[in-house]
Amino acid sequence: MDLEKLSDSLCFGGRQQRWRHRSATLGCEMSFSVYLPPQAEAGAPLPVLYWLSGLTCTDENFVQKAGAQRTAAQLGLILVCPDTSPRGAEVARAPDGEWDLGLSAGFYLNASEAPWASHYRMHDYVADELPSLIEAHFPASDRRAISGHSMGGHGALVTALRRPGRYRSVSAFAPICHPCDCPWGQKAFRHYLGDDESRWQAWDASVLIGQAQERLPLLIDQGEADAFLASQLRPEALVAAASAAGYPLTLRRHPGYDHSYFFIASLIDEHLHHHAKALGRLAS
């Protein structure tokens, strides 16, 4: 697979890079960002944290705003950030003004409805194609963790729950916890998956957690000043489902914090340590 390097910068002794490749899964060119900590120079495979960003974002938001590289360098973690949707002239897009559908709004699922189905297969891209590429071309092991924010938090939860054995840990900031029952999720699911709401449940963490085949370390942080908390995010639904299933879930609520990257930057180090323990980079 051909990879084109778009940028490469020294960062805390490691390399912050951006790459482009042709995705067979999505049928278009895709970009991703990767942080290689200083330990990558030795060549021994390192564990990988995959970060899924939210609505309106690209692969660059997290690496530019979260400030995760310093701690990733200390812990020896590779950070991989895919884009949030397929892109390109051949890719379907929503009408102008529809920021929560189409480009930058892939919802990390596999679409089944026209015109989306031919390109919008972000779940398979994140869970299968991208890790295969990373592990083939970078000093990356198959010890994986996954995290994300908002729509990306939904993606991290759903991807981990749908793919037992693929990840060692999962976390999220302000995730869309019950998309079947919130406006963002309902809009996306109706377009991508069709009107049969029973099919939506396969992409809803509050449903999937009750069917989980494994118990991963799961950490969620939620700001109480988040403007989307009551209408879109619905963490109480996930907590109730996890409690009913006996799934260990740590949900931390933080007064005063909103939905922004200021919130993420304030707590990202704790998430990196959460994953480093599960990935064998820290003592338990």
Catalytic residues: 150, 226, 259
Beta bridge partners of residue 102, listed in sequence order:
105
Residue 72 in tokens: 């990733």
SS3 assignment, position 219: strand
CB atoms within 10 A of CB 265: 13
SS3 assignment, position 136: helix
d(CA 261, CA 265): 6
Decide: residue 284, CB within 10 A, 0-12 exposed, 13-18 middle, 19+ buried.
exposed
SS3 assignment, position 222: strand
**Amino acid in the structure at residue 49:** L
Contact 114, 189 (CB under 8 A): no
Contact 84, 57 (CB under 8 A): yes
d(CA 125, CA 269): 27
Contacts (Cβ under 8 Å, ≥6 apart) of 175: 148, 149, 150, 152, 153, 154, 156, 157, 205, 220, 233, 235, 238
Kindly report the backbone phi and psi dihedral angles of residue 91, in degrees, each rounded to the nearest multiple of 5, phi listed first: -90, 135
H helix or E strand, kind and range, residue 15: strand 14-23
Contact 153, 170 (CB under 8 A): no
